[in-house]
Structure 1
């Protein structure tokens, strides 16, 4: 098996082409992309491929502009008046997505989650709440929390790493960060972390409250077959990062059906698993960021250090909170 470099891992996660570095790739993707818009908001909220955009059934709430390459959600009353009420337009969106799910138009909706994700406007205002499984269709920014739990031992630092359940809709059987989860509409990052730690790893709140916030990780992912559903969907993401130094007697255990088990691995064992491509792409990206902050990956031992570090904070092209 070919070993992956750290830069390979970064490129697998942050793989939407950069305009300056990859002009031909960027041009090809850009020429085949549509923007997703909400009527009344001038900002582009996400990107989608032309094939996806043209597949959406159109009614009075939707407009496809092939000349300007835009799909616009325009919730309106029967008389054509625009609907500005937040809850009312989200109800229309929810019913529409449920309808196309039942018609089996997009495979990605087979992974329906009954979770709502927020979509923001240019003034940081909350514009929409969208079913989680639908967000890659529209290429909107999604948000989550990722925590790395580690233990200081006589043999050095060790990291708690779960293996994803084989029944997971996305990346089954791959390795993860200690705890990770998506941020629902109205949920604050640290509250999300506490909830996910209890659900996924059976970690008590009083322990998790010692977790240290370490900023964010942003990237622009183009989904592959392991992500489930259609290949090539756009997924820009922002992850809120936390570290938790854990006592030796704190042992995470699966609290739901998300993980098979948790393994306490040495740094070298984690690095080996990374090189073998056993981690979910964004989890590998995050672990590299963790290793940089903790002095495991340095300018002295990583030839692509500057490039790798610069890719931890991609500037996303869409409104964020």
Structure 2
């Protein structure tokens, strides 16, 4: 169920409950997109049970499943529990203090080997925002901890394409991920993709990843066209994936062949649109990159209302309203975040007991 804060009252909205017959009515594309949005379609209730929001400085920044909550209870000086939420402790009143305290907890949990996601520790830092692009981020966090804490993650993807000199038909570049990648090893993926690390903007990450993953020189990568975002909310064994991906289209010369630089890609292949869709729909394609691929095919007119009967529902599941699901909380004088510099701190914190997993 989704629980909305509506003044002092709570409104409960139940997620979808479907039987096998209803599931069979969905098209193959819709089935895959529903899997990408499993947590959203469950009504924001985990398979583990009811979740609690993680609040920092008056914003919901995470979603804590019961299997993670039981471990966070050991760290009340960082994650202060209430019956309905976890609050970042009010004494952690700056970006640096929050980042350092959370990092110490995560390293301890990693040493205890109790959260499977932390076994893929990356030594990469993601910013945790109250509202992306508004003010400054609240703190930063180890990338592998994003899913167990239900933190919103942001990334960039490039769909690289070319036109065959033989027949003029569109060819789309697909990568095969390296077999030693900590996540989704050996699976097919977008030509270029990467998370937005702390201190970088989407376009900076796009240019960086274009070089590292596919050897695309900056003068060529800089011609990539920003084509919007996709977003989805999925649950997996590693936790909750509340992802927003900035998507870019890049037309490449027919004689350009991507070559990996950083060791994270096994190989590349240019395929026809028909073959691309077949691969995207297969179990060998990285599931969290499927929305990026389908968005490209829709925008290019290869998936239309004529080819996909459930077109409106498909479009909605490519743009889940995460911005509104991670809702602000009304400030109170009890838990405030004084201004901190650098970076400046966002608005004051609230210990509101309403489970703000929506506000849709």
Which bin holds the TM-score, normalised by the shorter protein?
0.7 to 0.9
Q: Does 1:13 align with 2:32?
A: no
Of 243-252 and 147-156, the range deviating more from structure 2: 147-156
Residues 107-146 of structure 1 aligned to structure 2 (within 5 Å): 107-122=116-131, 124-146=135-157
What is the SS of the residue equivalent to 2:54?
strand
Report the equivalent of 1:26.
43
Structure 1 residue corresponding to 2:248, chosen from 242, 256, 264: 242
Residues 190-218 of structure 1: CA deviation (Å, up to 9, x unaligned): 11011101111111111000000001111
Alpha-carbon distance in 2 for matches of 1:83, 1:238: 27
Report the equivalent of 2:161.
150
C-alpha spacing 1:62/1:311, structure 2 compared with 1 (3 Å): closer
Q: Does 1:44 align with 2:60?
A: yes
Alpha-carbon distance in 2 for matches of 1:86, 1:36: 16
- Output the TM-score relative to the length of structure 1: 0.86
What is the SS of the residue equivalent to 2:190?
coil
Give 1:279 shift. 1.1
Question: How many residues end up aligned between the 2 structures?
Answer: 297
What is the SS of the residue equivalent to 2:189?
coil
Long gaps (5+) in structure 1: 19-24, 76-81, 224-230
Alpha-carbon distance in 2 for matches of 1:319, 1:177: 31
C-alpha spacing 1:131/1:232, structure 2 compared with 1 (3 Å): closer
Report the equivalent of 1:22.
none
Residues 148-193 of structure 1: CA deviation (Å, up to 9, x unaligned): 0000122410011011112111111111001000001120111101
C-alpha spacing 1:37/1:160, structure 2 compared with 1 (3 Å): same
Alpha-carbon distance in 2 for matches of 1:232, 1:136: 6
Residues 180-195 of structure 1 aligned to structure 2 (within 5 Å): 180-195=193-208
Report the equivalent of 1:96.
105
Residues 85-111 of structure 1: CA deviation (Å, up to 9, x unaligned): 221321222222112211212121111
Moved over 3 A (4+): 27-31, 122-125
- Output the TM-score relative to the length of structure 2: 0.77
Long gaps (5+) in structure 2: 1-26, 329-345, 347-360
Report the equivalent of 2:260.
254
